[in-house]
Amino acid sequence: MKTFPFIYNEPREFLKSLQPKEWADFLLGEINPRFSTTAIKAKVVAVREETADTKTIVLKPNWLWKGFRSGQHVPVTVEIAGRRVTRFYSLSSHPKDKHLSITVKRQKGGLVSNFINQNIKKGDLLELGEASGEFVLPKMIPSKLLFLAGGSGITPIHSILKQLQSSKYDGKATLLYFVRSYEDVILRSSLEEIAKTTGWLNIRYIFSDVPKEGYDSGFLTKEILKKYTDDLKSYSVYVCGPAPMQTKALSLLEGNEVKSELFLLPGQTSLKVKKSGTVDVFLSLSHKTIQVKGERSLLEELEDQGIYPQSGCRMGICHTCVCKKAVGSVTDLSNGEVSELGEENIQICVSRAESNLELEL
């Protein structure tokens, strides 16, 4: 046996075992909670009320923040009752603004959106991930742009409009903003300001619930599209809003160049409990997709198919079977609770599949 074979062979791993990062993070965090070497922590520098149920949170991130492009979104992690929960939000600010901001509308039953609206105040700390997303303008900006926004889907579009403004855009852009009522229009003053100062932007609000004189009402239709565009086919289209609106838009805009961004909101998805038939479970480490019935624990159903994840007690006490669920929802058999859709660690011996899943197995 060589002297110190592991340290000799794997010096990096040895260094890692001394936890330099953990130490650095701990000490930096003690100096200033925003400091870190591993996590993008952002301080809330202002909270602005947009509408009765929407707030803009202005954030000052630490040095790890790498910036973003207009239209992109970012994972936001907040701590609710001791638990870290992550959701994606579009950045509503312009990349060149001094601070970044997200604009969050309360969703019915939405854990994080409600928490942010109710509890986040100046001075709080949020954790961000890296910005990502393809809902951005191309290098060559098209001369005719059509933006279709629905509800809080305005936030990435707002950011894109600000980008156009700062890059001295000289084409033509139309924004059709579908929203419940005039009071629900998010970021109105900023939008109108862009329209006023630039001249290339045409904003149309369309109210679905409370009509207002001088404005259109209703939902997205062929007629409305026709009404506000000359030759529809010549537009590049950006769509962001709830699922039904997106589906509608995509069917009306066949043949156009369309970019769309869809955030799954609780209660809005088809991922809800589906008792009949089977669900797909994608095992990301072994690159396999299998079907399970969702009748018994995931562990048992996987084993039925010849897949043997680590397990131990099989009754929820030893945590041997803990595995990361990246996507989907499960029911915790020990208390009957249905989980969130997002990423979390689950014990597969006491979890039953509720929707299509992605597991790190």
Partner 1 sequence: MRTISKKLNNEEVEAFGKEVEALREEMMAKVGKEDAYHIRFIYKTYRYTEILGRGLIHFSFEPISFVAGSLLLATSKILNNMELGHNVLHGQYDWMNDPRFNSRTFEWDIVSDAHQWKFYHNYMHHTFTNVLNKDHDYGYNFTRLTEGQKWKPTHLTQPFTNLFLAMNFQWGVGAHGYRVEYMEIPKKQRKKKTLKDYKAVFFKKIELQLVKDYLFFPLLAGLNFPKIILGNLIANLIRNLWTYAVIFCGHFTENAESFSVDDIVGETKAQWYLRQLKGSSNLDGSNFFYTMTGHLSHQIEHHMFPGMPAKRYREVAPRLKEICAKYGQHYNTGSFVKQFASVWKRIIAYSFPDSIAGKLMGTKKKYLEPKVVLSQPSFQISLPGEEKSASLT
Closest CB to ligand FES: residue number: 349
Q: x-or-dash pattern for ligand FES, window 256-295, by CB under 6 A?
A: ----------------------------------------
First-to-last alpha carbon distance for the chain, in angstroms, is: 34
Q: For ligand FES, give the closer residue by CB, 186 or 349.
A: 349
| Binding site partner of 226, from ligand FES, partner 1, none, Cβ cut-off 5-8 A by kind | none
Q: How far is the CB of 6 from partner 1 (least distance, A)?
A: 5
d(CA 44, CA 115): 14
Give the pair of three-digit tokens for residue 147: 């933006």
Q: Does 311 sit near ligand FES (CB under 6 A)?
A: yes
Q: For partner 1, give the closer residue by CB, 24 or 250.
A: 24
Binding residue for ligand FES, selected from 167, 317, 345, 360, defined by CB under 6 A: 317
Q: For ligand FES, give the closer residue by CB, 311 or 339.
A: 311
Q: x-or-dash pattern for partner 1, window 135-164, by CB under 8 A?
A: ------------------------------
Stretch touching partner 1 by CB under 8 A, among 207-215, 226-234, 278-286, 341-349: 341-349
d(CA 212, CA 13): 65
Stretch touching partner 1 by CB under 8 A, among 77-85, 90-98, 111-119, 218-226: 77-85
Q: x-or-dash pattern for partner 1, window 192-231, by CB under 8 A?
A: ----------------------------------------
- Residues from 319 through 338 that contact partner 1 (CB under 8 A): 319-320, 322, 324, 335
* Binding-site ranges for partner 1 (CB under 8 A): 4-7, 14, 17-18, 22-23, 26, 79, 81-85, 297, 300, 312-320, 322, 324, 335, 344-345, 347, 349
List of residues contacting ligand FES (CB under 6 A): 311-314, 316-321, 347, 349
